[in-house]
Amino acid sequence: MNKKSDILRLRDMRFFGYHGAYPEEKRLGGQFRVTVELRGDFSYDNTNDDLKRSIDLAAVYRIVEEIVADKSFNLIETLAEEIADLLLGGFGVDSVTVTVVKDHPPIPGSVQSIEAVITRER
């Protein structure tokens, strides 16, 4: 039997957080955008159309919000790793891809945003 790989995605969640390597970033904070992609076999949940058997996307949102808003990391890739670890361990999915975007980073030159994209699997 073929293994199925379905995707549930929460795209472009926006939060205020205190992440960055410079003291000003830790003090002033900034806007962060996070996209989470959960992969697994969700066909059983789909065919029964039962919310109780599905992944609670509101809970996923709350976890991401708590990490971004309440913790502080020097690197956005570390922030993404923390999110991925908690989601992978808590929702019975096969893999998680997390994208963290920081708009207008304080680096020389004209840069709209920086982003870290990580994928973690069971």
Residue 112 resides in a domain:
yes
Residue 33 resides in a domain:
yes
Residue 101 pLDDT more than 80?
Answer: yes
Residue 1 resides in a domain:
no
Q: Mean pLDDT, the chain, as a whole number?
A: 90
Q: What is the pLDDT of residues 102-121, one digit of tens each?
A: 998 888 888 999 999 999 99
State percent of the chain over pLDDT 70.
89
- Per the structure, the complete domain to which residue 38 belongs is given by 6-121
Virtual torsion, Cα 12, 54, 48, 44, nearest 10 deg:
100
pTM, to two decimals: 0.89
Q: What is the pLDDT of residues 6-36, one digit of tens each?
A: 999 999 999 999 999 988 889 999 999 999 9
> pLDDT band at residue 46, thresholds of 50, 70 and 90?
low
Length reported for the chain: 122
Residue 74 resides in a domain:
yes
Catalytic residue among 3, 26, 71, 102: 102
Residue 26 bears catalytic tag: no
Number of domains into which the chain is organized:
1
How far apart CA 10 and CA 4 sit, in angstroms, is: 20
Residue 94 resides in a domain:
yes
Mean pLDDT of all residues in 38-53: 72
